[in-house]
Chain A
Amino acid sequence: MIELTEVSKAFGDVVAILRLSMSAKNGVTGFLGPNGSGKSTTFKLIMGELYPDDGIVRVFDEYPINNASLKRRIGYVSEHEDLYPWMKGKQFVTSLAKLILPREQAETAAKEAIKKVGLSVKGKRIKAYSKGMKQRLKIAAAIVHHPDLLILDEPFGGLDPIGRRDMKELISELHQEGVTVLVSSHILYELDEMSTRMVLIHRGQTLAEGPPAEILNIIDQFPHQILFKAPFNELQQLSKHLIDKDIVNTITFKRDKIDIDLVITTDNPNSFYSVATQVIAENNLLIKHLEVQTDNIESIFEFLV
């Protein structure tokens, strides 16, 4: 469906992607990489907004640049706020739908698409919309023609937790309807649950691609940082019991304003959690808060490279 072979793209001296190869087939493909890793550039190449300097981009076995018939099969949500602020929501979706659907069908399709994304517009102009509403509207405009392939560039950006949950549900629903989805994010947990396939990209190159379980295994090799919050004497007790364990790499006490936190790094998070739980239970320690600090995707990628 989507095939990129040895694709390179530079903007002046800045190399955005370098000999990148990847593919996306049916299902939901999560495109994971830190900011500036080349995700949006890759999507723009797939959408035919950019010419590759080198390599081949094929979508549905066709070249995407200036390919009007191909666009009939694709819906695209860019990372930008690319809306006409003077328009009303329904007007926006209908106007763009007319370029794909018969005029008499465009309005009905626009209403349906707006309803599907759970947007209540009530005649407001787009400039008055919240970030979440704008995001939903962009998706409505992208799915109004019932595309075979939906490309979503950072669709979770700026959404509140409920908005994120709704977005995930919408993507899963579209997947159930047979739409192939390519979705990017720089946050791992946004993608791992809903993706049927994941692609890791960093510094314009594909690091790995495959089923989420495989990708998560690779990511799990990264030394995880786990932060504990508790009264200082409890943290001291915890550190004393964990310091001689093989699965613990480092133990650090860190000052956070008036509190002191305990930060432990481990290569094996799963074993660590069972050991730590056992130590806490056996010694009756009062742990107030536990937080995994390795959702900083950039550091994971630096490690993998």
Chain B
Amino acid sequence: MNYQRPEKEYSPSIFEKIIFLAEIFFAKFLYDKKTYILILISIVPLLTLGYYDISEISESTFVSLVSSGDNTSVLSFVILPLICLILGISAIAEEKENKTISQLLARPVKREEIVLTKWITIMIIGIVIVCIDALIIYLGICIHIQDFSILLEHLDVLIGAWLYLGLWVAVYCTIFLFLGIIIDKNPLGWGLVVAYFEAFFGQFIFGLAAGGNSAFSISNHINHVAAEYFLSDYLTFSITDMYPLQSLLICFGIIVGFLALSMFSMNRKDFP
């Protein structure tokens, strides 16, 4: 070969490795039809606009379409878990299934660096997708009522919704990333069970037992945070005997905890 290996061994920094790995992972998402389906799926909540009295549609309608505060939002109750599930689970599970993980493990990259880069990638992709989804819904409402003034007058709703959905993605994608690492057979199916088991038991069963919104539901904590910090003028939500800051810390703890667990599991994992 024409080139010579450098005398002093070259070693990319962790930051450079993350950039180079992310280039590969982003390319996959851009090429993958799933990404575009996840964006287009946001049209589904707009179908429910027909049930609203057109004169009553406002920026609050948008909040109820995107947030699960009253458990009626198609986006946050059905579509959002699906987006997080597909992105989170597939991050490592697809590499395992296609055996491309072998290519990554054969390079001078630590397993933790692969997990960290995957996490960063799905965070960015997931947040971009849900932000586009929210924008499509918002624009859909404006088109439906033929009034674009609410878009500019209530931009805070859109930004609040983006932050709310971003938190959803951060929390759930991290949990599903972990599941994708530890579960070898049918991780998507198990992820679906976990997502709806959490929603069913956390929100409904424990909610009934608590006589209000249960602290055992992750989505309740996200709604609690959103009602206090992101959409305070539009969303009313509280958890019995709990401050919003506590919910925020719980969400943050879930993200950090599951990311650490993902790295640990990846490190201990066999890739047959």
Q: Mark B23-45, 1 if CB is under 8 A from A, else 0.
A: 11001100110000000000000
Chain A nearest Cβ from B37, distance in angstroms? 16
Return chain A residues, CB-CB under 8 Å to B110: 66, 68
* Contact residues of B: prevailing secondary structure: loop
Assess the B6–A102 pair: CB atoms within 8 A.
yes
Return chain B residues, CB-CB under 8 Å to A87: 27
A145 on the interface (CB 8 Å rule)?
A: yes
Nearest CB in chain A to that of B1: its residue: A112
Q: Mark B98-118, 1 if CB is under 8 A from A, else 0.
A: 111111011111110000000
Choose the segment among A27-35, A41-49, A294-302 that binds chain B (4+ C-beta atoms closer than 8 Å).
Answer: A41-49
Assess the B3–A80 pair: CB atoms within 8 A.
no
Assess the A51–B270 pair: CB atoms within 8 A.
yes
The distance in angstroms between the C-alpha atoms of A81 and B97, with both chains bound, is 11
Tally B residues with Cβ within 8 Å of A: 37
Return chain A residues, CB-CB under 8 Å to B3: 105, 108-109, 112, 146
Assess the B108–A47 pair: CB atoms within 8 A.
no
Given A101-B10, A146-B1: A47 in contact with B103 (beta carbons within 8 A): no
Assess the B107–A71 pair: CB atoms within 8 A.
yes
Return chain A residues, CB-CB under 8 Å to B1: 109, 112-113, 116, 146
B9 on the interface (CB 8 Å rule)?
A: yes
Assess the B21–A99 pair: CB atoms within 8 A.
yes
B189 on the interface (CB 8 Å rule)?
A: no
Chain B nearest Cβ from A29, distance in angstroms? 18
Q: A66, A70, A75 — which one has the most chain B CB atoms within 10 A of its CB?
A: A66
Assess the B106–A69 pair: CB atoms within 8 A.
no
Query: Which of B12, B98, B105 is close to A49, meaning CB atoms less than 8 Å apart?
Result: B105
Assess the A71–B272 pair: CB atoms within 8 A.
no
14 contacts between A and B (CB under 8 A): A50-B270, A50-B271, A51-B268, A51-B270, A68-B108, A76-B102, A78-B103, A84-B28, A95-B23, A99-B12, A99-B108, A141-B103, A146-B3, A146-B5
4 A-B pairs with least C-beta separation = A86-B31, A80-B99, A76-B106, A68-B108
- What residues of chain A have their CB less than 8 Å away from a CB belonging to chain B? 11, 41, 44, 47-51, 66, 68-72, 74-76, 78, 80-84, 86-87, 91, 95-96, 98-103, 105, 108-109, 112-113, 116, 141-142, 145-146
